Structure 1
Amino acid sequence: MSTQFPNENALGVALRKARLRLDPAALGFSSTRRRTPGLRREEVAQRANISVTWYIWLEQGRGGTPSSAALERIASALLLTDAERENLFLLGLGRPPQPCYRHSLDVTPRLQRVLDALDPSPGFIRSATWDMVAWNRAATELMTDFALLPPEQRNILRLTFLDPRTRQLHPDWENTARFIVSAFRVDSARAGAATAIEPLVRELCVSSPEFSAMWQDETVYASEHAAKIMYHPLHGPQSFEVSTFGVDGRPDLILVVYNPVAPA
């Protein structure tokens, strides 16, 4: 009875599979006189701007531990998806790649349907930089009609510090604002968006002395699991349990749900 062992050169196998599925002609290489489909090893090395010999060794399992920069270039050369790129890093370095922030305010119709199904619980999807990306009817009724705001104004920090209606919405505004600033700092750093947030931070530091003071205070505040009280101008105080969820396939997005809590 034979025993099967994991492939000791899993990285090389993944590289070869990715290389063989590519169309040489679509990438500017001649498709004539090829015995196998896909790109040749030297063509991958050319696209990745790395040594041909080293890339051949890497596929053969004797190239040593690659650098993260080399893996990034190889992933780009092989046109890997985000999931494939992450797998490449796990195989090559035993860890996922560093976050690569992408600014995208689009969600799929499927995600919008998920939000709509949560009604009457307010729900929305925000980015790592706390831009409102999508929302349901209940979120609009509780907070504001985001569709009426210019896209650049649909940012939770900008609304928190510059919109008087948001202050009225949160009876404990100062503590809420401190937590938002702290979480914003952590989320943007985790997503690799430190450069992307600089214009917003500069704007808010000039426009809001309160934000400027809170931004200088680098204390990290833990999320509170107690019910959150919000004051609606028509319905009065309302209590919610706030839950956050990652969005599958979109590490740059967070789903936030405000679940109403019935009075005790």
Structure 2
Amino acid sequence: MATREMAAFLRSRRDRVRPGAVGLPEGERRRAPGLRRAEVALLAGISPDYYMRLEQGRAGRPSPSVLDALARVLGLDDDERDHLYRLAEPSPAHRGGEDGRVEARVRRLLDVIAPVPAYVVNGRLDVLAWNAMAAALLCDLAEQPEPSRNMLRYAFLDPRSRAFYADWETIALHGVAQLRTATGQQPGDPATEALIAELDAESPEFRACWERQDVKGPGSGSKTYRHPVVGTVTLDYVGMVLPGGGDLQFVTLTAPEGSPSQDALDKLADGLG
């Protein structure tokens, strides 16, 4: 059975597709900039009634061919397409690291790669382990009690995060998109639902981000931090899913050799003795 989550996701993706992008006239009588339901159905080769029931969460489970057609019409990227498939056929997955434990060999790797800041998070962005350099870099987050040490809780509920993250909005949107992905990977997880409820109750900004229905998996990019000791630091991050079938990610932060940001990292390392 199609889920309410899938219905909401389809509506959000339909709303962002401009008619002109798929060869349809824009028209002046449209109530919204996106496609109409009947247009999505036509382009996907399914009946308007069936698509309407999909968006109402009361249709049968769509076939792979229907999901492929919808992904094509709605212009879904790889992360979004995977999310659509998970929502269409949710299944329990192995919850690696669910109890907060990180294998000793992974913790050893965190220490060995110092002075590169590195940490381990799960799908909802709880920080489960990190090395001394990561703690020195993410100093405000390191102060949080371990049970509540979460990237999103820090970003939305700790006012210091807005000064610390130079690109706060980008980081917040990406983090929420990763949390949305986690809900598809681990549907009904109590800890994830509790985090969503907490952030929804306490942060209007989180609610606005959550309503976008964006999804993202682990990836790479750059982040700029305003550190209280070493100043502005721009670092490249790489998130890698750890083996074992769970949702744990190993994240590293680096800077080009000889760059001001690497000099800042070196200064942080010197401060650790």
- Please point out which of 230, 249, 254 is paired with 2:225: 230
Give 1:186's aligned residue: 181
1:178 partner letter? L
Which ranges in structure 2 are unaligned for 5 or more consecutive residues? 1-90, 261-273
The structure, 1 or 2, with the larger RCO (C-alpha pairs under 8 Å, 6+ apart) is: 2
Give 1:113's aligned residue: 108
- Please point out which of 140, 143, 149 is paired with 2:138: 143
Give 1:242's aligned residue: 237
Query: Post-superposition shift, 1:225?
Result: 4.5
- Match of 2:100, SS state, is coil
- Match of 2:161, SS state, is helix
**CA 1:203–1:122 in 2, change beyond 3 Å: closer, same or farther?**
same
Q: What is the root-mean-square deviation of aligned Cα atoms in Å?
A: 2.4
Query: Post-superposition shift, 1:127?
Result: 1.1
Distance in 2 separating the partners of 1:197 and 1:122: 26
Distance in 1 separating the partners of 2:121 and 2:239: 10
Matches within 5 A, 1:1-264: 98-101=92-95, 103-144=98-139, 148-192=143-187, 194-220=189-215, 225-249=220-244, 251-262=246-257, 263=259
4+ residue stretches of structure 1 with deviation over 6 A? none
* Structure 1 contact 100–192 (Cα < 8 Å) conserved: no
- Match of 1:214, SS state, is helix
* Structure 1 contact 142–232 (Cα < 8 Å) conserved: yes
Query: Post-superposition shift, 1:237?
Result: 1.1
Query: Post-superposition shift, 1:147?
Result: 6.1
1:259 partner letter? T
**CA 1:196–1:189 in 2, change beyond 3 Å: closer, same or farther?**
farther
* Structure 1 contact 124–139 (Cα < 8 Å) conserved: yes
Give 2:20's aligned residue: none
Aligned residues: 168
Larger of the two Rg values belongs to structure:
1
Which ranges in structure 1 are unaligned for 5 or more consecutive residues? 1-96
Distance in 1 separating the partners of 2:149 and 2:228: 21
- Match of 1:174, SS state, is helix
* Structure 1 contact 124–255 (Cα < 8 Å) conserved: yes
Distance in 2 separating the partners of 1:198 and 1:165: 25
